Chains A and B, each alone.
Chain A
Amino acid sequence: MATHTQVNLPLPVLPETWSGEKDFKAIGKLSAATQRSIEPVGPHFLAHARRARHKRTFSEDDRIQAQENVKKVEDDDSGEISEPEDPMMLSRDAKDWKSQDHYAVLGLSKYRYKATEEQIKRAHRKKVLRHHPDKKAAAGSTEDDSFFKCIQKATEILLDPVKRRQFDSVDEHADLEPPTKKQLKEGKYYKLWSNVFKSEGRFSRVQPVPKFGDEKSNKEDVDTFYNFFYNFDSWRSFEYQDEDVPDDNENRDQKRHMERKNNNARKKKKTEDSARLRRLVDDAMAGDERIKRFRQEANASKNKKRLDKEAAEKKALDDAKAAKEAEAKAAKEAEEKAKAEREQGKKAKEAAKAAVKKNRRVLKGSVKDANYFVSGVAPASVIDAVLNDVELVQGKIDADETAALAGKLNGLKIADEIKGVWSSEVKRLVSAGKIKDSDVKGLA
């Protein structure tokens, strides 16, 4: 604390018997404290909180605060005048103030449009102190006040907000050239363009200006940035570059003519400037890896959908095909099976046929063996009659019966036995009503 309480009552005199190491004797300790809550309000509490949070003691905190305060002053003071003065600039003529760099004249060239009014005032004062014509005269040099006039003109312009804007509009020293392809190849794409747009952003009526960002910026920020610069609302104007300034002495028509001319020139320049900015943004956007990445990401997500769909379609197709194949296979198998069955059936049939044929041959052979149931050489008519009958019987009985009959007849050589078999067969057939008794006389 800055102030100390003053106590006018005197301290006691040191008793002669008193002694202590290094003149100090610790005797007691503080009695226990109570825990209470202090109200978090007021500047002194803020100081307390600062000490508590940074674990500083009073003296440390005092020192750090003092240092911070000192630093602030230094920051404010430094810079402005430390710029070396270009001898060419010192010999400038105040008459062609239009081409003069006002910031450089005041030694503020590193601040430029960022210089505050306070800085300008201070810089002006410092420059005046150094370059006042009276001082030069006192130092013995010629009475040359041209640079002093330059200083006055620069201050006049920079301290007038309207004139300062006009000058800032055409202050090409503050402009940053867009990076060349060669520079960009070296890799610092974001840093280079970021600086360019920072410098362009100073013309924006809308502040703050979105940042260019870096490779990690998200899509939203990048979109905001480009939208902002494509819809740039600029206060830049070109009055400062007017070729002719109307003079009060000229006549009205002349003045109007000049004004019109100036206005047209300004408009043209403004349009050119807008076009330039647009090209700049186009260039930046063309090389912007982030945009490409976002597009790829967007495409990737779109493609993903498409691929998914295609995959699904393909799968459906495959499934259908597989199903069809399975079906075809099943059909084929069934067909083959059927065919096999058919063939088997055919074979059986043929076998049966062959058996029937064989049996028939047995039947016919039996009657031949029995010599057609006649003794001696059988006359043709008998043979015919017997064979007809045999055929008739054969026609009436089916394969099984034929086989049974053949079985009975097989091996029989004696005519009577054969005859007996036949006649019993005929009888059976007659009784079954299949043939008439009269039809098979030869076998009865």
Chain B
Amino acid sequence: MAAEGASANGTTPGERHAIGISFGNSNSSIAYTTNEDKAEVIANEDGDRQIPSILSYVDGEEYNGQQAKQQLIRNSKNTVAYFRDFLGQNFKSIDPTHCHASAHPKEHDGTIAFIIQDKEEGGPSVVTISEVATRQLKRLAQSASDFTGKQVNSAVITVPTNFSEKQKAALTKAANDAGLEVLQLISEPIASLLAYDARLEAKVADKIVVVADLGGTRSDVAVIASRGGMYTILATAHDYEYAGVQLDKVLQDHFAKEFIKWNTTDPRENARSLAKLKLEAEATKKALSIGTNANFSVESLAEGIDFASTINRLRYETIARKVFDGFNRLIEGVVKKAGLDVLEIDEVILSGGTSHTPKIASNMSAIFPPTTTILAPSTTPTAINPAELQARGAALQASLIQEYEKEDIEQSTHPAVTTVKHLTNAIGVMTITGDSDKGLFTPIIAAETAVPARRTIHIATPKEGGDVLIKIVEGGSHIKVSKPEPKTKTNGEKSKGEDGSDDSDEDDSDDGPEDVREKVWKVGNVLAEAAIKGVKKGGKIEVMINVAGDLAVTVTCREVGGKGGVRGNLAAP
């Protein structure tokens, strides 16, 4: 294959045709960038944008995606599923739970392999995990090539943040064997964030983002400081207990019990019945993310008995509450791990297929303050399909770097370039609120900003103009907890009325008035003072702070539209 030769040597920028690949345990997706630099997810030949990462072999023929998933019922022994996390691992450190209903992983020559009948003739063959991954990636690349009409020869692939170097190397090798040059491996949460930040309407801002990637078999959450379009991961958490399959499990159990009510057999005891139950439970779960009611019907579920039932969303949310609570704890935990408070989170991005579930998004709205944007389909109409985020992010990154030489990419991603100092405190300027003389801290550069950094703000001056003082200070944020002031009469009456109607609501009646938590700035070190004299009436002051790589600071202040201005330096500490 010509592409294989090319990938070994590294393709030159001119002949590259790159896509973004999100290669997941349960599903994979592929995306490309259109001529307008917009990322689009590619549907495979079956029309799926979420391609199940499953390979199945029937009479020597390979099936992939949804077709292979159907084989889990009849041909589970020759079907390989949930294998992504096994890449680059040894047999001791893998969790084979999810593979119970498909081909079982075996130890082979220090690596992991599956014993499957993948040829028409002869006995079953040993297929190593690397080979399985290569076959899967080959299918993905083929689908992308068919769609775009050009041979895809390079890709940006997303990986979880806790992927070890060995796993990354194994994935790169598998991709190379599949004829793909790996331009870069990028973290999954960053890819999701990039997909949102690349939208035309998105503005470059300083914000703290929680990216919750809720997948089929695992949930990964990361807290990311996004500073002027540069991303720093502050904390991550990984969970294998609360994920999409647990939600399926809840529905499986629910319907199995219902089946037992009418029939004596338990469909969970028969492997084939269980597989059918599982597939339909997943479909029902997806239906419940869209509608408030969903059907569950399986022909010949067990002992030839057909089964049909319905479930509404409320019921589903009740029975799955334990799992939803697990997601909440996970996300709250990682925010704490980053040393932050929920009030400091500006954005929550829900990514991964499980994020379609409306309850998870509404739970997020409850945890985070109203100022936090929850980017999920059920809370934000303009949200991008959470299952497509990673592939889109990867495709965008691919389009950004595919013109660079391989060497350039390697040099730019070198730790010497990526490891930089981050500010511990915010830098800001003191302003005054309306009438009080007390100073108020106004941040210019946020904490956790990578240096070198440069920010500019425009600040208003007193109405009459004149001479103003610019005091540059460091500031730290902390959370102020205060009891709410006694309610005014009208408010009290109103709340009484509410209480009366909602007597059963325990939360309100027991806890009493909740503490009010707010984020306040604490003024720290004074860094510099500058004076601008003779400001015009209604004029504005532009303050530009430039922090160099060695933490030396340059402050430039001038009146907007005016000449000259004040410039001063602070030496590096």
A interface residues (Cβ-Cβ under 8 A, vs B): 1, 3-15, 18, 20, 22-46, 48-53, 57-58
Contacts and interface: CB of A to CB of B under 8 A. Distances in A.
B571 A11 contact: no
Contact of B460 (A9, A45, A58): A9
B571 A29 contact: yes
Contacts of B148: none
- Give 9 closest A-B pairs by Cβ, nearest first: A44-B229, A24-B568, A33-B421, A14-B467, A49-B412, A9-B431, A40-B413, A11-B468, A39-B231
A258 B459 CA distance: 82
Given A10-B462, A20-B531, A30-B551, A4 B457 contact: yes
Contacts of A33: 421-424, 451, 551
6 contacts: A10-B432, A13-B468, A26-B570, A30-B423, A30-B573, A40-B417
Given A35-B421, A45-B231, A12 B529 contact: no
Contacts of A58: 452, 454, 546
B468 A4 contact: no
A296 B132 CA distance: 52
Q: Tell me which of A20, A27, A33 has the highest count of chain B C-beta atoms within 10 A of its own C-beta.
A: A33
A26 B448 CA distance: 23
Interface in B333-359: none
Given A28-B474, A39-B233, A46-B400, 19 more contacts: A4-B457, A4-B458, A11-B461, A12-B439, A13-B466, A22-B566, A24-B531, A26-B568, A28-B527, A30-B423, A30-B527, A30-B553, A36-B420, A38-B230, A44-B228, A44-B229, A57-B452, A57-B548, A58-B452
Contact of B432 (A5, A9, A40, A49): A9
Interface residues of B, number: 94
B207 to A, nearest CB: 13
Nearest to B524: A31
B528 interface: yes
A41 B194 contact: yes
Contacts, number: 236
Contacts of A5: 444, 455-458
A29 to B, nearest CB: 4
Contacts of B234: 36
Interface in B540-573: 541-542, 546-549, 551, 553, 555, 566-573
Nearest to A34: B422
Contacts of A41: 184, 186-187, 190-191, 194, 231, 393, 397
B452 A18 contact: no
A26 B424 CA distance: 20
A41 B390 CA distance: 13
B566 A37 contact: no
Given A1-B228, A7-B431, A57-B452, A23 B531 contact: yes
Nearest to B570: A26
A273 to B, nearest CB: 30
Contacts of B437: 12
Nearest to A30: B551
Nearest to A58: B454
A13 B458 CA distance: 16
A1 B456 contact: yes
Determine the main DSSP class of B at the interface with A: strand
A50 to B, nearest CB: 8
Q: Is the interface of A mostly helix, strand, loop or mixed?
A: mixed
Contact of A9 (B231, B433, B568, B570): B433
B140 to A, nearest CB: 21
Contact of B431 (A6, A10, A14, A48): A10
A103 B430 CA distance: 66
A441 B417 CA distance: 142
Given A31-B424, A42-B229, A7 B442 contact: yes
A50 B417 CA distance: 9
Interface of B: 184, 186-187, 190-191, 194, 197, 203-204, 224, 228-234, 393, 397, 400-401, 411-413, 415, 417-425, 427, 429-434, 437, 439-440, 442, 444, 448, 450-452, 454-463, 466-471, 474, 524-533, 541-542, 546-549, 551, 553, 555, 566-573
Contacts of B228: 1, 44
B232 A38 contact: yes
Contacts of A28: 474, 525-528, 570
A27 B431 contact: no
A11 B462 contact: yes
A15 B469 contact: yes
A35 B63 CA distance: 47
Nearest to A7: B459
A290 to B, nearest CB: 25
Nearest to B187: A39
A23 B532 contact: yes
Given A1-B204, A44-B204, A30 B452 contact: no
Q: Which of B466, B530, B572 has the most chain A CB within a 10 Å cutoff?
A: B530
A5 B474 CA distance: 18
A435 B369 CA distance: 161
Contacts of A50: 412
Given A9-B440, A10-B432, A27-B526, A38 B567 contact: no
Contacts of A37: 232-233, 415, 418-419
A11 B474 CA distance: 16
Given A23-B532, A44-B228, A34 B424 contact: yes
Which of A9, A18, A50, A51 has the most chain B CB atoms inside 10 A of its CB? A9
A28 to B, nearest CB: 4
A29 B571 CA distance: 7
A28 B411 CA distance: 36
B201 to A, nearest CB: 14
**Most chain A C-beta atoms within 10 Å of own C-beta, residue among B418, B421, B434, B440:** B418
A266 B442 CA distance: 80
Contacts of A29: 525, 527, 551, 570-573
A76 B374 CA distance: 45
Nearest to B443: A5
Contacts of A43: 229, 400
Contacts of A49: 412-413, 417
Contacts of B420: 35-36, 38, 52
Given A4-B457, A43-B400, A11 B469 contact: yes
Contacts of A40: 184, 186, 412-413, 417-418
A46 B529 CA distance: 34
A4 B456 contact: yes
B231 to A, nearest CB: 4
